[in-house]
Copies of this chain bind each other. A is one copy, B any other.
Amino acid sequence: MKAGKAATPVRRASIGARRNPASQAAILAAARAVLAEEGYAGFSIDAVSRRAGAGKPTIYRWWKNRADLLMEVYAAEKAGIRAVPSGDLAQDLIAHTSALWSFWCGTPSGRTFRALLAEAQSDPHALAALREKFLPERLQDVRGLFTAAAARGDIPAEEVEARLALYIGFNWFYVLTDQLEAGQASIPVAMRLIAARGGP
């Protein structure tokens, strides 16, 4: 959403009508800080606005709602986790799960992710954004692990969706019940089952 009226008077020097990297970063940093300190329950556009020193209209010009802002906070942080197929699907899934859980536990991202999923249960727009944009983008890498395994003939191509759903759901179960510590022991078994060769 870009502002069209270039002649509109801008009252703040740092955060104007045009979305620029510096002001975007300031608002995202403020959102991260609010989330880390207050958690999901205290996360509001009001709180982010106060923390960033940016007006609410400025925030709403760029992000439609709370969920939209949460998704971008999360995406910016998760960008560091990559998954590249090694030729062994089970090992790739174990490595990716470990990286993901460390990311969830070691940053406010686990909380952010839980907040996002919660938000999507009461806000249809948030659910649509989650399903049609956020998840496909975030899952692109891990989907690539499955399609590479299918291309190698290690798993049937027609089972990629079901196996991906098992993978996603396994992670969601442990993060949504806040049991990532206890769940560590289940990772290798689960990933070997998800990656098992099909057929006889």
Q: Is the interface of A mostly helix, strand, loop or mixed?
A: helix
Most buried by B among A120, A161, A165: A165
Closest residue on chain B to residue A130 by CB atoms: B177
Contacts of A194 in B (CB 8 A): 166, 193
Identify which of B117, B185, B190 contacts A166 (C-beta below 8 A): B190
Q: Mark A94-124, 1 if CB is under 8 A from B, else 0.
A: 0000000000000000000011011111110
Contacts of A163 in B (CB 8 A): 189-190, 193
Contacts of A114 in B (CB 8 A): 121
Chain A positions near chain B (C-beta within 8 angstroms): 39-41, 114-115, 117-123, 127, 130-131, 135, 159, 161-163, 165-166, 168-174, 176-179, 183, 185-187, 189-190, 193-194, 196
